[in-house]
Structure 1
Amino acid sequence: MEIFAAVAQSGSFSAAGRSLNLTPSAVSRTIDRIEARLGVRLMLRTTRVLTLTAEGQT
């Protein structure tokens, strides 16, 4: 959940990865696993924008 919080706060997988000493792909895989475990999308991602869904905000 620390990784999710870092992504939500920074708005970027790259920035979250830098702050946690992880690669952006490691951050992305972790978020994918969290979403799969919960069964909901927490973030909507495009190449330019990352936004939290209503579930992600909660």
Structure 2
Amino acid sequence: MVKRDKNFHLENIQKIIETRNRIAHGYDKISDDLIWSIVINHLPKLKEEIKSKLEE
């Protein structure tokens, strides 16, 4: 089990973890549309957030 660093905060960390678990374990047969929506709508923002944190 991976422990989270309490000092490192991402805006939607719980949703990211839940989505990862759904994909990894095949819960409810994840739709292609949902995955594509995440890629288009959420990954660019997450990328910028992480980039910003790495520059701190």
TM bin, normalised by shorter chain, reads 0.3 to 0.5
Choose 1 or 2 for highest CA Rg.
2
Structure with bigger RCO (C-alpha 8 Å, 6+ apart) = 2
Superposition TM-score, scaled by structure 2 size: 0.34
Q: What TM-score, normalized to structure 1?
A: 0.33
**Higher relative strand content:** 1
